[in-house]
Amino acid sequence: MAKSKTAFVCGECGAEFPRWQGQCSECKEWNTITEIRLAPANAVSRNSRFVGYAGTQDNKVQTLDEVALTEIPRLNSGFNELDRVLGGGMVAGSAILIGGNPGAGKSTLLLQVMCGLAGRVKTLYVTGEESLQQVAMRAQRLGLPRDQLRMLSETNVEQICHVAREERPAVMVIDSIQVMHVPEVQSAPGSVSQVREAAAQLTRFAKQQGVVVLMVGHVTKDGALAGPKVLEHCIDCSIMLDGASDSRFRTLRSHKNRFGAVNELGVFAMTETGMKEVSNPSAIFLNRGEEQTTGSVVMVIWEGTRPLLVELQALVDYSQLGNPRRVTVGLEHNRLAMLLAVLHRHGGLQMADQDVYVNVVGGVRVEDTSADLALLLALVSSFRDKALPQELVVFGEVGLSGEIRPVPSGQERLMEAAKHGFTRAIVPWANRPKQAPAGMEVIAVKKLDEALEAL
């Protein structure tokens, strides 16, 4: 029998050392290094050969054209918005991590998915944070079918894998990865070492058995996934469920996906009966009043594979401070500072003595550069105290020299805006359509001053 080896690992950053020491030389934390037992060499060799979603992996060298190309089957989750974020459905043998703030609805969404799948495939729901009675009470409150979903209350990863081999489910949920523990690791559940080893074993189990493993992940106070960064590297798909505490809408966004596009967005609404899909997200973000207000404009951003209409609000007010405030909600702060400089240099408007507040309505986080032109026009509207037309929609990227750069999928953005009743649009010159949508006037501009004149 091979002798097991030991290693000393920091519980904060995951750094390894040949011997114990009081302070970690990587993260400078004290008393965080613990000893763990490593798997024997023969155990590693037994696990190095596995059967995944693509079949048995042979240890031989092949050219790329010799690899058999087979279509990867996908399992429909029952929620079109979730399938969109996953790239078309769940792939057998994949490990999926779902993170989010407490109360965002991670467990509720997965319970709804599993109860719906239980009637089609074999499922297993492993809960480590709640008792079986608590999960059953939630399912009863949501009105979900409870007669076919298999449940297990366990935190030992080895025991979970042993039960799953006997049950042979097609989909398995781990709620959550932060409370799971591996007996060989001598540290508390939730530590860097435990999370890393537990995720590695569950991912390896998913590949070996061809099981879809859905893992719930906690987040830190900064909103990032808790645990080591290697956790996001070893899994196949990482998605985040976000939502403001005072809003019933939740956004599901993919940050990593080996089987689909990243930055895909799905929208849900939290109701008394659980999570409900929002098939037309633009409608919920365009709940505007009938009266025209200054500093408000509608922009068309591109999220994943579809356009999304979002209202952008800006407030410019005289500052009583020596250093005016720049506050952004839903947009990047540094991009606001850059666009203010462009507006001063190429638009002739000075806001150095003004407080600037920018907000994206609905709690959407916008990373698309096509929001640049809409942001500048909203700032001008608030600064001049003149409202923009409610039937106006704007998109375009603004360069440092004041030019309006084109953005991808301009025609699709205009079609989405026309579908929601918008009749005027200010777009980059390169995005001008050959034939504008019926009933819409499209104004194509090349420079920032042309866009300001078009107002």
Domain identity same for 393 and 268: no
Residue 446 CA to residue 343 CA, distance in Å, equals: 15
User: Each residue of 253-288: pLDDT tens digit?
Assistant: 888 999 888 878 898 999 998 999 988 888 777 766
Query: pLDDT tier at 245 (50, 70, 90 boundaries)?
Result: low
Which three-class secondary structure state does DSSP give residue 297? strand
User: Each residue of 313-359: pLDDT tens digit?
Assistant: 999 999 988 899 999 998 999 999 999 999 999 999 989 999 999 99
Cα radius of gyration rounded to whole Å, the chain: 26
Query: pLDDT tier at 440 (50, 70, 90 boundaries)?
Result: very high
Residue 59 is predicted with a pLDDT of 67
Number of helices and strands (H, E) in the chain? 12, 25
DSSP tag of 230: H
Query: Is 106 part of any known ligand binding site?
Result: yes
Domain identity same for 251 and 362: no
CB 144 within 8 A of CB 151: no
CB 180 within 8 A of CB 194: yes
Q: Is the dihedral of CA 183, 185, 187, 190 positive or negative?
A: negative
Domain identity same for 274 and 159: yes
Instruction: Kindly report which listed range (134-143, 155-164, 178-187, 428-437) carries the lowest average pLDDT score.
Output: 178-187
Domain identity same for 418 and 297: yes
CB 333 within 8 A of CB 326: yes
60 occurs within a structural domain:
no
68 occurs within a structural domain:
no
Mean pLDDT, residues 429-438: 90
* Apex 127 CA angle, 79 and 74, nearest 5: 30
Predicted confidence (pLDDT) at residue 23 exceeds the cutoff of 70: yes
69 occurs within a structural domain:
no
Domain identity same for 157 and 87: yes
Domain identity same for 148 and 89: yes
Query: Is 102 part of any known ligand binding site?
Result: yes
* Predicted TM-score of the model (pTM): 0.77
DSSP tag of 341: H
Predicted confidence (pLDDT) at residue 224 exceeds the cutoff of 90: no
52 occurs within a structural domain:
no
Which letter, b or e, does each residue of 370-379 get, where b requires 16 or more Cβ atoms within 10 Å of its Cβ?
bbbbbbbbbb
Q: Tell me which of 279, 303, 319 is where a domain ends.
A: 279
53 occurs within a structural domain:
no
67 occurs within a structural domain:
no
Residue 4 is predicted with a pLDDT of 58
Query: Is 408 part of any known ligand binding site?
Result: no
Q: Which CATH number fits the domain that encloses residue 390?
A: 3.30.230.10
Output the average pLDDT for the chain: 87
For residue 210, count other CB atoms closer than 10 A to its CB. 18
Predicted confidence (pLDDT) at residue 247 exceeds the cutoff of 90: no
59 occurs within a structural domain:
no
Query: Is 136 part of any known ligand binding site?
Result: no
Domain identity same for 234 and 305: no
Stronger pLDDT, 275 or 71, i.e. the higher one: 275
Q: Tell me which of 279, 311, 343 is where a domain ends.
A: 279
Query: Is 100 part of any known ligand binding site?
Result: yes
Domain identity same for 445 and 330: yes
Domain identity same for 231 and 310: no
Domain identity same for 30 and 117: no
Domain identity same for 218 and 316: no
Residue 36: domain span: 1-43
Structure-block tokens of residue 444: 């194509």
* Apex 367 CA angle, 412 and 226, nearest 5: 130
Domain identity same for 82 and 188: yes
Predicted confidence (pLDDT) at residue 54 exceeds the cutoff of 70: no
Query: Is 105 part of any known ligand binding site?
Result: yes
User: Each residue of 367-410: pLDDT tens digit?
Assistant: 889 999 999 999 999 999 999 999 999 999 999 999 999 999 99
61 occurs within a structural domain:
no
Residue 192 is predicted with a pLDDT of 80
CB 294 within 8 A of CB 381: yes
Q: Which CATH number fits the domain that encloses residue 169?
A: 3.40.50.300
How many structural domains compose the chain? 3
